[in-house]
Amino acid sequence: MKITRLATTAPDFDARLQQLLHWSEDTDAGIEQAVAGILAEVRMQGDAAVLARTAQFDGVQAASVAELEISAAELKAAFDGLPTAQRQALQTAAERVRRYHQAQAQACCQGFEFTDDEGNRLGQQVTPLDRVGIYVPGGKAAYPSSVLMNAIPAQVAGVGEIIMVVPTPRGERNALVLAAAHLAGVHRVFTIGGAQAVGALAYGTATVPRVDKITGPGNAYVAAAKRRVFGQVGIDMIAGPSEILVLADGTVNPDWVAMDLFSQAEHDELAQSVLLCPDAAYIDAVAAAMERLLPEMPRAAVIRASLEGRGGLIHTRSMAEACAISNRIAPEHLEVSADQPRQWLPHLKHAGAIFLGAFASESLGDYCAGPNHVLPTSGTARFSSPLGVYDFVKRSSLIDISEQGAQVLGPVADTLAQGEGLQAHARSATLRLTM
């Protein structure tokens, strides 16, 4: 396997690193135009457009959008019908994800109020969104874990109604996906997808209710549609290819690290797996483990294409330098495969999720550790966060002014409003000067 090897001591390291990381989400004019057309159609024609596009793209014929809804009883039947091991694994995962997000809600989604010296009460109230839409991809990349990771934070937030859409190309339904919807408290499921599903959720149709926010991953059409309806509804991030960065000090079993790099690479050919390590011999050991383990992997072809196309083994001067490079990359998943992983934590500023220690494999986080697996990709961890309960609530400021407060604040507002040439603002403040 020919994986790019870099050393930070090389004079052209910066340029080569930049080249390795380069990924551009080029907007495709054809996709943009198609999506604009589909959205306009759904906005004008509602259900009829949804039906026509579902027939065209998914090969699913239905007389009405109501026929495309999956009942709660069918979701429960899918759950009940799972093999015991799958049912129990899904339940354990859901419980752990729920518990984590409950702790998150406690830490970050509380309102506040304080009273100042003038008796004004100032603060914020936090309320859940009324209704959200969750997009779940269908076909070959149908992930029940994504259903849990999107729906449970919404449920913990107290969202009134969770509407899931999932395309079923040629009518194929994924029992695990439906079972996960049952378990995660999804209220309604429609078997629609693509830009037409995003449009139906954003604008509402006679059958599909309009939502306040749409989350969940999708293909280029779904991403383009989400970007277009942003403002009309809220959206979560636009996801790029998945990435892992392993920061290794050389103390963790090389087979484990090799398999973790594979686990990212097996997603698709654009996925990126990078190892940063100050120990050249250890990098060789991981490379050897990869060569040895690759033939055993059912998805070896995808893994090889991903690693040869976008993977990297980077020899650094030190762990501290590796941390600095990690901050530049701002990876989606960051494994600190080190003996004392917490010593590096204060140096790590930007990452979607930080996995600490030999036993923290990314795959545990993907499925069942508890934290969300919807994470910022392509360096966007510089400014964005994992999907969380905070994405399903919003805040309203509370401004409760006392009579005394109005006397103190009025002249200040008057002066500043006059400075901005807004005299009605000034007058509104001075009318309340009663004392």
187 annotated binding-site participant? no
Tokens of 2: 């020919």
| Count of helix runs (H) and strand runs (E) in the chain | 16, 15
- Between residues 123 and 169, which has the closer beta carbon with respect to a copy of itself? 123
22 annotated binding-site participant? no
58 annotated binding-site participant? no
Distance of CA 433 to the CA centre of its chain: 49
Nearest one of 195, 130, 198, 141 to 164, comparing CA atoms: 198
333 belongs to the catalytic site: yes
425 annotated binding-site participant? yes
Tokens of 263: 């686990």
Residue 43 CB, shortest distance to a copy of itself, in Å, is 11
N-term to C-term CA, the chain: 82
161 belongs to the catalytic site: no
Residue 205 CB, shortest distance to a copy of itself, in Å, is 17
- Between residues 179 and 200, which has the closer beta carbon with respect to a copy of itself? 179
CB atoms within 10 A of CB 196: 29
Nearest one of 257, 206, 252 to 362, comparing CA atoms: 257
88 annotated binding-site participant? no
Residue 404 CB, shortest distance to a copy of itself, in Å, is 9
- Between residues 5 and 382, which has the closer beta carbon with respect to a copy of itself? 382
CB atoms within 10 A of CB 22: 8
* φ/ψ (deg, to 5) at 173: -105, 140
- Between residues 12 and 420, which has the closer beta carbon with respect to a copy of itself? 420
327 annotated binding-site participant? no
DSSP 8-state code for residue 26 = P
Kindly name the residue from 101, 182, 315, 333 that is annotated as catalytic. 333
- Between residues 141 and 280, which has the closer beta carbon with respect to a copy of itself? 141
Taking only Cα atoms into account, the Rg of the chain, rounded to an integer number of angstroms, comes to 25
Distance of CA 13 to the CA centre of its chain: 31
3-state helix, strand, coil in the chain (%, to 5): 50, 15, 35
Residue 364 CB, shortest distance to a copy of itself, in Å, is 5
CB atoms within 10 A of CB 332: 29
Residue 31 CB, shortest distance to a copy of itself, in Å, is 15
Residues annotated within the binding site for substrate are 242, 264, 267, 333, 366, 420, 425
Residues annotated within the binding site are 135, 196, 219, 242, 264, 267, 333, 366, 420, 425
Residues annotated within the binding site for NAD(+) are 135, 196, 219
Residues annotated within the binding site for Zn(2+) are 264, 267, 366, 425
* Residues recognised as catalytic: 332-333
